[in-house]
Structure 1
Amino acid sequence: MTAHAAAPGDVDTVRTAAEAAAAARPPLLVLEPLEAYLDAQGVPPGELAWRRIGDGQANLTYELRRGGDRLVLRRGPRPPYPPSAHDMVREARFLTTVGAAGMPVPRVRAVCEDDAVLGVPFYLMDLVEGEVVTGNLPAGFTEAPARRALVEAAVDALADLHAVPLEGDVATLGRPAGYLERQVRRFAQLWPLNTRREVPLVERVGERLAATMPAQARSSIVHGDYRLGNLMYATPGRVAAILDWEMAALGDPLADLGYLVATYSEAGTPATPMDLTPVTALPGFPTRRELVERYAARTGADVSALPWYEALALWKSAIFCEAMHTRWLDGQRPGDDFAAGLGEGVPALAAAADAALARLEEGKA
């Protein structure tokens, strides 16, 4: 059996449920119950091997190998966390539904709501082969045409997602009307729960977002965390899978575009903790403006208010990053350098959101 630690200081795996109950911190994998669950799902018998994959800072994703089969397990972080957070059952439902609507996503194989297996709900999905682009360019993605192609493919996949009709099973996924209002209200309520310090700019930005909220011109599936690091590429010009659907909803599609722009690095712009694709600051990548122009051309969307949506993305990021930082302060994320750096990173995100709103007021999209 092969084990791979999640992070320094984590008790990643134990063998039995009794060992899990006796552990100081809940382990992430409990092997005997997990192997029994795999047996029940028809996964071939054999030695179980696993490794952490992905760059997510909240939910955890593992590649599992057993009996020649390869699959992916996705679960939430260690509890405690709010009841509505890290809802793996809801995420699996979104994956299944958007996959049936023709979008490139992994196939869900099983959903486990029984906390007796791992202590939290989780789901299993097919492993998709491909490349994820964040801080480095894989082989075949280094030339200038490939750099442009991978960004254009991301924009085109987003446009395709937003074109999925809100009918049938898709229509049952939520209420698109009032999406922006719910987002601002919910995250404003989360801030005092997530923090133990004063960062007045976070509250001020929230107030400005509420006061300047644009009318929702269109409704669509909203991924909620749409960035290059959540895409799996078959080739530079083809997205093999869109990953990480925890934040998905029905709502305003420009929220996804604003988030993509906010997490897209560009040379000469101030960096924030949400610069999650630093590779795109290299020569040969499209600018943020070019990214937005391609989306507008594909969809016909009016993007004049996009800085508001960028501000929303950055402000929300400040609030959920503050939760990570508080968990780090409490010793719940030992060895997590990203969370440790959020003491300064959260105010930087708030300042970036404030600057985006200033651009909107100045008419600089």
Structure 2
Amino acid sequence: MSDDSYMDRIVNKTALQSYLEIELGAAETYEIEHHQAGHSNETLFVTWGNHELVLRRPPPGSKADTAHDVLREYRVINALQDTDVRVPKTVRACEDDSVIGSEFYLMERIEGDVIREAEPERFSDPDIRERIGEELIDRLAEIHAVDYEAVGLEEFGRPDGYIKRQVERWHKQFEWAFDVTEAEREVPEIADIGAWLDDNIPESYPHALVHGDYKLDNVMFGTSILPEIVGIFDWELSTLGDPRFDLAWVLTYWRDPDDPEPAIPQLIPTFTDRPGYPTKAELVQRYETQTGLNFEGGRFYRTLSVYKLTALCEMFFRRHLEGNADNPMYPQMREQVPEMAAWGLRIIDGEEPI
């Protein structure tokens, strides 16, 4: 499918122009660009006169489930406008599907760098690298410090039972994937990890607003020489839950110098093992100092995080086998998911301590 035809599926340019004229006033300049770096909701860059905007909408054909409910994402970003959390300024939310074919929202565009495969050249000094890790943790601490009742998010989730539901959710995702993938190859270690998680669910935990997908490539660093996070994105999985699971997700995407080779290098950045970057243990220490929360049960949370990522990868493999994806990474899940399972077992066995 050509990019032009796909653009026609995700935005009605004429209808959006009429909407923007009503909401923001007339403009001489009107441009739209499809931002293709994300993997969930669609992101469009919109220039409307002097306004540089970001439009977020669900993928075409999707239902408004938790993973694609952009108005839920708008709600949390809008609620955080007057807090310390680094979120873009919200502009408008639209529930009317007739405008572009789905609900959507608009926020102001922020300039900076999202770190994915490599660090910006200006951040290559070891002393500066240390600050990247500190910024990542400090901004996460600000999310978890939000008084969610005070900002109107008291009914944004059900923190009681959150972790048990997470474990059950990823069990079910594996079951869905295995319905197809087990005919190709089995991964018996997954059942062992799942059983261990069932037996070790924490009885109690702190309640907080959680991001749900917090990691380096979901934050933006500003254009200054010193690393400063100016925006936190991709809030579609945010809810009220256990902040320690957010921290464990950060650690899953962070590599120490002595770590084994990553099972899936396409997903796990490898540059954080360079001189200057904090270790995972130092990130945890920083988080505990900033929040006053102890990373109690860290082995459980790290295992659950790897289990979640492994489930996502096995789902990729099913989509490949069914012909529902053309991502060149997906066929590699045949070998890489078993390697991910081995990673989870190493954490359970204490071979990869914090």
TMscore range, shorter length: 0.7 to 0.9
Kindly provide the amino acid, as one letter, of the partner of residue 249 in structure 1.
T
The reply to whether residue 145 of structure 1 matches residue 133 of structure 2 is no
State the aligned residue count.
Answer: 344
Superposed displacement of residue 164, structure 1: 1.5
CA distance in 1, matches of 2:117, 2:328: 16
What is the TM-score of this pair, normalised by structure 1?
0.84
Distance 1:194 1:232, change over 3 A: same
Matches of 1:339 and 1:232 in 2, distance apart? 27
Is 1:309 aligned to residue 301 of structure 2? yes
Question: Pick from 328, 338, 342: which aligns with 2:333?
Answer: 342
> What is the match of residue 77 of structure 1?
59
Give the deviation of 1:120 after TM superposition.
3.4
Q: What value does the CA root-mean-square deviation take over the aligned residues?
A: 2.6
State the one-letter code of the partner of 1:337: P
Q: Does 1:159 align with 2:141?
A: yes
Query: How many angstroms does 1:29 deviate by?
Result: 3.4
> Which portions of structure 1, spanning 4 or more consecutive aligned residues, are displaced by more than 6 angstroms?
none
Aligned match of 1:90: 72
Q: Deviations over 1:144-177 (max 9, x none)?
A: 1111111101111111211112323132322211
Normalising to structure 2: TM-score of the pair? 0.87
**1:254 to partner: Cα distance:** 0.4
Q: What is residue 298 of structure 1 aligned with on the other side?
A: 290
Moved more, 296-305 or 34-43: 34-43
- Cα distance between partner residues in 2 of 1:12 and 1:353: 39
SS in 1 for 2:68: coil
Per-residue CA deviation, residues 296-321 of structure 1 (Å, 9 max, x unaligned), is 22223222421211111111122223
- 1:197 alignment counterpart: 181
Separation (CA, whole Å) in 2 of partners of 1:48 and 1:276: 37
| Deviation of the 1:257 alpha carbon | 0.6
1:60 Cα deviation from its structure 2 partner: 2.6
254-263 vs 192-201, greater mean Cα deviation: 192-201
Equivalent-residue separation in structure 2 for 1:295 and 1:74 (angstroms): 31
CA distance in 1, matches of 2:300, 2:317: 25
Output the CA distance in 2 between the equivalents of 1:329 and 1:35: 41
Q: What are the within-5 Å matches in structure 2 for residues 1-365 of structure 1?
A: 10-14=1-5, 27-42=9-24, 44-46=26-28, 48-53=30-35, 55-80=37-62, 83-168=65-150, 169-195=152-178, 196-198=180-182, 199-234=187-222, 235=224, 236-269=226-259, 270-273=261-264, 275-334=267-326, 336-359=327-350, 364-365=353-354
Cα drift, residue 116 of structure 1: 3.2
Deviates most, 52-61 or 306-315? 52-61
Whose relative contact order is higher, 1 or 2, with alpha carbons under 8 Å and at least 6 apart?
2
Q: Does the CA-based 8 Å contact 1:14-1:29 persist in structure 2? A: no
Letter in 1 for 2:309: S
The residue number in structure 2 matching 1:6 is: none
Alignment deviations for residues 78-117 of structure 1 (CA, whole Å, 9 cap, x no partner): 4356844311111111111123333110122122333334
Specify the SS of the correspondent of 1:149: helix
Q: 1:197 to 1:325 in 2, by over 3 A?
A: closer
For residues 207 and 201 of structure 1, the distance between their equivalents in structure 2, rounded to whole angstroms, comes to 10
- Distance in 2, matches of 1:148 and 1:28, equals 40
SS at match of 1:61: strand
CA gap of 1:341–1:121, structure 2 versus 1, over 3 A, is farther
Tell me, in whole angstroms, the C-alpha distance in 2 between the residues paired with 1:313 and 1:258: 6
Per the alignment, in what secondary structure is the counterpart of residue 153 of structure 2?
A: helix
Could you say what secondary structure the match of 2:24 adopts?
Answer: coil
Cα drift, residue 15 of structure 1: 9.3
Unaligned runs of 5+ in 2: none
The answer on whether the counterparts of 1:11 and 1:28 sit within 8 Å (CA) in structure 2 is no
Is the 2:15–2:100 contact (alpha carbons within 8 Å) kept by the matching residues of 1? Answer: yes
Q: Deviations over 1:319-359 (max 9, x none)?
A: 2233333334444433x233343333333333322222222
- Asked if the contact 1:43/1:66 (under 8 Å) is kept, the reply is no
SS of corresponding position for 1:344: helix
* Aligned-partner residue type, residue 241 of structure 1: G
Asked if 1 retains the 8 angstrom alpha-carbon contact of 2:54 and 2:107, the reply is yes
**Equivalence for 1:3:** none
- Residues in 2 aligned to 1:280 and 1:137: alpha-carbon distance in whole angstroms: 9
Q: Percent identity?
A: 31
SS at 2:155 equivalent: helix
**Shift of residue 43 of structure 1?**
6.0
Ranges in structure 1 where 5+ consecutive residues have no aligned partner: 1-9, 21-26
